[in-house]
Amino acid sequence: MEKNKIKVILFDADGVVVKSKGKKFSERLSKVCGIPLETINLFFKNEFKSCVVGKADLREELPRYLALWGWKGALDELLTLWFSWEEELNESILTLIQALRTQGIRCYLISEQERYRARYFGETMGVKKHFDGCFFSCDIGHKKSERIFYEEVFKRIGGAMPKETLFFDDDEKNVEAARELGVHAYFYKNFEDFKQTIHQRYGI
């Protein structure tokens, strides 16, 4: 595959563009507040899945769990704790993304998010300014493990085909779903491995 055949690069958010702290928010909440993890996961294994694909509203679904969790604060306090847990951007990757964009490569963020954290990405973290566009599962209506997610992304991008696209994600099932469509998808291991791949293709 020649580098001049690539028009678009898709980037996963959490674990790639956004640095991972190694633990899920549910695990942190369990530890900080002394809430049994299995109690917290009742929400994440049920209603939250609908929130991620835009079929339910987090602010409507989450309050019913606050008493069960023994949460004494306001809903907004919990959301702030949640969203700020992983908000540190990988500046090294962002620097490479800007270099790629100067070479005419369109770069997009794609992520599984419910609508309020998706908004947090843009309004608080300032993610959108680093990309040509962002696509979230709550807007697409499907998860990244589904081929239809990528089909919809390409409809919205316009002017690019899967075979003209690279994709980096730290979840194998998402990589496989994109590959089924013909995307040149790579499992993201770490920044050095990613940097080497980009350097080999673009000399950056």
Q: Inform me whether the pLDDT recorded for 156 exceeds 90.
A: yes
Task: Indicate the average pLDDT of the chain.
Answer: 94
Buried b or exposed e, range 74-112, using 16+ CB within 10 angstroms: eeeebbebbbeebeebbeebbebbeebeeeebbbbbbbb
Q: What is the pTM of this model?
A: 0.93
Q: d(Cα 198, Cα 172) in Å, to the nearest integer?
A: 20
Please write the tens of the pLDDT for every residue from 15-68.
999 998 888 899 999 998 899 999 999 999 999 999 999 999 999 999 999 999
pLDDT at residue number 2: 55
pLDDT at residue number 32: 86
Q: d(Cα 121, Cα 32) in Å, to the nearest integer?
A: 24
| Residue 123 CB partners (closer than 8 Å, separation 6+) | none
User: Is the separation of the CB atoms in 90 and 29 below 8 Å?
Assistant: no
CATH, domain 3-20+87-202, list 3.30.160.40, 1.10.540.10, 3.40.50.1000, 3.20.20.70: 3.40.50.1000
Boundaries of every domain in the chain: 3-20+87-202, 25-85
Please write the tens of the pLDDT for every residue from 157-195.
988 899 999 999 999 999 999 999 999 999 999 999 999
